[in-house]
Homo-oligomer: A and B are copies of this chain.
Amino acid sequence: MTEYRFTSLAKSLPATVPFVGPEAQERAMDRVFDARLGANENVFGPSPAAQAAIAATGHWMYGDPESYDLRTALAAHHGTTMEHIVVGEGIDGLLGYLVRLFVAEGNAVVTSDGAYPTFNYHVAGFGGTLHKVPYRDDHEDPEALFAKAAEVGAKLVYLANPDNPMGSWHEGAALAKTMDRLPEGTVLVLDEAYVDTAPEGTALPLNWDDPRVIRMRTFSKAYGLAGARVGYALGAPELISAFNKVRNHFGMNRSAQAGALAALGDQAWLRETVGKVAAARDRIAEIAQANGLTPLPSAANFVAIDCGRDAVFAKAVIDGLVSRGIFVRMPFAAPQNRCIRVSCGTAEQLDAFAAALPKALADAKRS
């Protein structure tokens, strides 16, 4: 047995995976899912212009390390400058860089109990100490988060709006008002991955130069490019430029840069997709109600369904769906884990979900 001289921090880390991928489940079951509704992907897919741009890319060239064209277009789209924007390998990659910039061993970070696990993975990975506050009425609770941040002297506080896994959201104007409570010296990591499918007014209406907040956006959700791994962060240039100290400068896939640029240019497709997502949310809610379950209001591309009992029951429902070829997931923490979480799908996929759900519920009630 070799004794590798890993850092003491690395030695202490578990080799965990924040999520098991659906492909691993498919391999274990030796069957392919009929409906892939567990990863909050966008089955309606990217703009054909994005698909074409990716196909047309000469893959032999490295990507532009500055993502100049994409950042220029994003700056125009958001009414800011490219110095306010860093492009990275999905929000996951950008969260990793951000945590690395701020968090040394023992530094305090605050999030909600049951919020995005990959953020927690990064905090643990850099030795930070994570403090959690509970959801309030299935919403992340900005006031409680900011109060906890003040109490523990947090460097970062994470808030997703809309929230994953519950789909709940806060109005941007209301959130802006609570910013007074954010303690000085704490940066708000505002994950707006799902903002494109949310009601008008959900995005935080703050100046892009506000140094207190960094906002995470992605092409993985409404733009339908999860496989391309393109996220971006918006913030004050002094904060954004710090990413250049640690990021993998040549880490961006060149065709993904081209695909994201094309996707951004096709806002008509985005609007159409947002409409399809809204219709699918409604359908998921109907299916839930038809089975005596309670769908929670959602601003995201998925719906959390309250199964009305505890996590053991919800897990049994998940198992019953998975074994019937429907890939779905559920929240990790109580009390949210009384729910299952169903991503928006095509009409056919939701038909398959509708057919499987009563059987899964019956099984769960028997077990």
Contact = CB atoms under 8 A, between A and B. Distances in A.
Interface of A: 1-10, 13-21, 23-24, 27, 36, 39, 41-46, 50-51, 54-55, 57-66, 68, 89-90, 92-93, 96, 100-104, 107, 118, 125, 155, 185, 187, 211, 220, 224-229, 236, 238-239, 241-242, 244-246, 248-256, 259
Contacts of A242: 4, 6, 10, 15
Number of copies of chain A assembled together: 2
B244 A16 contact: yes
- Interface secondary structure of A, over-half rule: loop
Contact of A104 (B9, B118, B254): B9
Contacts of A62: 21, 39, 41, 220, 226-227
A64 B20 CA distance: 9
A137 to B, nearest CB: 30
Contacts of A253: 227-229, 253, 256
A17 B250 CA distance: 9
Contacts of A39: 61-62
B255 A228 contact: yes
21 contacts: A4-B187, A4-B239, A5-B185, A10-B101, A10-B242, A14-B245, A17-B249, A19-B249, A21-B66, A23-B68, A24-B64, A41-B61, A43-B60, A51-B55, A55-B55, A59-B225, A60-B226, A90-B251, A92-B249, A125-B245, A125-B246
Contacts of A187: 4-5
Nearest to A252: B229
Given A17-B249, A62-B220, 19 more contacts: A4-B238, A4-B239, A6-B102, A13-B245, A14-B245, A15-B244, A15-B245, A16-B244, A17-B65, A21-B62, A24-B65, A60-B225, A60-B227, A61-B226, A61-B227, A92-B248, A118-B250, A227-B255, A228-B255
Nearest to A95: B248
Contacts of A229: 63, 250-253
A226 B10 CA distance: 30
A123 to B, nearest CB: 12
Contacts of A17: 65, 244, 249
Contacts of A63: 227, 229
A227 B254 contact: yes
Contact of A66 (B24, B41, B101, B255): B24
Given A17-B249, A103-B7, A245-B15, A226 B59 contact: yes
